[in-house]
């Protein structure tokens, strides 16, 4: 069975199978500790696992590595492990996130079963779509190791990494002060975007898409496009709705500050 999985399945199937195993194990743990929100911590690590599974599958099948593939591993690992570490330090030990508790309480069926499909397998499906440039780079012959694409991808990635890391640290410092519990974070990068950390996240996946252009395919655009969809249609809406009720002046902050892409403060005539 194991030998068949290693040598006879395609590389994408192998990578997604490994991710499915990890998600299923995580689901079992979530049932034990009654905390479905641990899935958030796994988000970044899942892509690291997929990327290294692709690399391992190529290795055991005798496929040579390339500079582009090595750079991709570095990018995905740096992005994913930093995010995993940050979320683990922030979330572990604080109980289940209120969003998941709300879904748990509203569920009319056994949440243990519902959460497997609605939370864990849904995340696996999103990871499969977003990992498209990873699959492309590891499964297709590269047309050329374009130095211009590599340099451009590195520039976008570093910009995104710094944006996300600095924004996260600024918010962490802000929240560490009890006096800010009802205040609005509108300093530093948060003065120019209401979600600069997400913008940095998007830039890093845009960099990975740029790197995937060396395969001659534009399908890798699915990664940054799906990230934008998740941020615009799901994450930001869920985060901002309670903030407008909890923090006085948040609606004014919304009116004055760009939601996603950084820009100058907006003023009303």
Q: Tell me the two tokens of residue 166.
A: 């600095």
pLDDT of the residue at 268: 60
Q: How far is CA 60 from CA 8, 11, 64, 78, in A?
A: 11, 11, 10, 24
Q: Tell me the two tokens of residue 101.
A: 């508790």
Question: Residue 94: is its pLDDT beyond 50?
Answer: yes
Rounded distance between C-alpha atoms, residue 117 and residue 202, angstroms: 26
Q: Tell me the two tokens of residue 159.
A: 């910009």
| Non-local CB neighbours of 59 within 8 Å, separated by 6+ positions | 65
pLDDT of the residue at 7: 46
Each residue's pLDDT tens digit, 124-137 = 999 999 999 999 99
CB 80 within 8 A of CB 47: yes
Rounded distance between C-alpha atoms, residue 240 and residue 193, angstroms: 13
For the four alpha carbons of 107, 109, 111 and 114, in that order, the dihedral sign comes to negative
Q: Tell me the two tokens of residue 77.
A: 């690992």
- Minimal CA–CA distance to 40: which of 157, 146, 127, 160? 127
Number of H helices, E strands in the chain: 13, 0
**Phi and psi for 80 in degrees, rounded to 5?**
-70, -45
Q: 3-class SS at 180? A: helix
* Percentage of residues of the chain with pLDDT beyond 90: 73
Q: 3-class SS at 49? A: helix
Residue 109: how many CA atoms within 13 Å on its side-chain side? 7
Query: What is the gyration radius of the CA atoms in the chain, in angstroms?
Result: 20
Burial class for 64, CB neighbours closer than 10 Å (0-12, 13-18, 19+): exposed
pTM across the whole model = 0.91
For the four alpha carbons of 121, 6, 135 and 147, in that order, the dihedral sign comes to positive
- Range of lowest pLDDT (67-81, 124-138, 239-253): 239-253
Q: What number is the average pLDDT over the span 82-110?
A: 93
pLDDT of the residue at 146: 78
Question: Residue 265: is its pLDDT beyond 80?
Answer: yes
Each residue's pLDDT tens digit, 136-187 = 999 887 666 678 899 999 999 999 999 999 999 999 999 999 988 888 999 9
Rounded distance between C-alpha atoms, residue 164 and residue 83, angstroms: 9
Give whichever of 3-17, 130-144, 221-235 has the largest mean pLDDT.
Answer: 221-235
pLDDT of the residue at 71: 95
Q: What number is the average pLDDT over the span 193-213?
A: 97
Rounded distance between C-alpha atoms, residue 84 and residue 134, angstroms: 19
* Percentage of residues of the chain with pLDDT beyond 70: 94
């Amino acid at each position: 069975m194991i030998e068949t999985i290693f040598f006879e399945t395609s590389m994408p199937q192998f990578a997604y199978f490994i991710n499915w195993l990890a998600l299923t194990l995580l689901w079992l743990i979530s049932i034990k500790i009654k905390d479905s929100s641990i899935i958030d911590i796994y988000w970044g690590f899942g892509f690291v696992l997929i990327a290294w599974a692709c690399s391992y599958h190529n290795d055991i099948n005798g496929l040579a590595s390339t500079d582009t593939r090595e750079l991709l591993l570095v990018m995905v690992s740096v992005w994913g492990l930093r995010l995993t570490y940050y979320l683990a330090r922030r979330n572990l030990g604080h109980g289940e996130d209120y969003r998941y508790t709300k879904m748990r309480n509203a569920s009319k069926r056994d949440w243990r079963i519902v959460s497997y499909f609605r939370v864990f397998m849904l995340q696996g499906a999103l990871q499969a779509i977003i990992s498209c440039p990873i699959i492309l780079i590891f499964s297709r012959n590269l047309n050329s190791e374009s130095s211009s694409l590599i340099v451009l991808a590195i520039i976008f990635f570093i910009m995104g990494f710094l944006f996300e890391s600095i924004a996260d640290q600024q918010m962490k410092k802000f929240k560490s002060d009890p006096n800010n519990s009802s205040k609005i974070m509108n300093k530093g990068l948060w003065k120019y975007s209401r979600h600069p950390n997400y913008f940095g996240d998007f830039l890093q996946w845009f960099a990975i898409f740029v790197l995937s252009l060396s395969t001659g395919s534009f399908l890798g655009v699915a990664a940054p496009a799906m990230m934008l969809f998740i941020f615009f249609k799901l994450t930001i809406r869920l985060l901002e709705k309670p903030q407008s009720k909890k923090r006085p002046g948040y609606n004014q902050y919304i009116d004055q500050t760009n939601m996603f892409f950084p820009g100058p403060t907006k003023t009303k005539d």
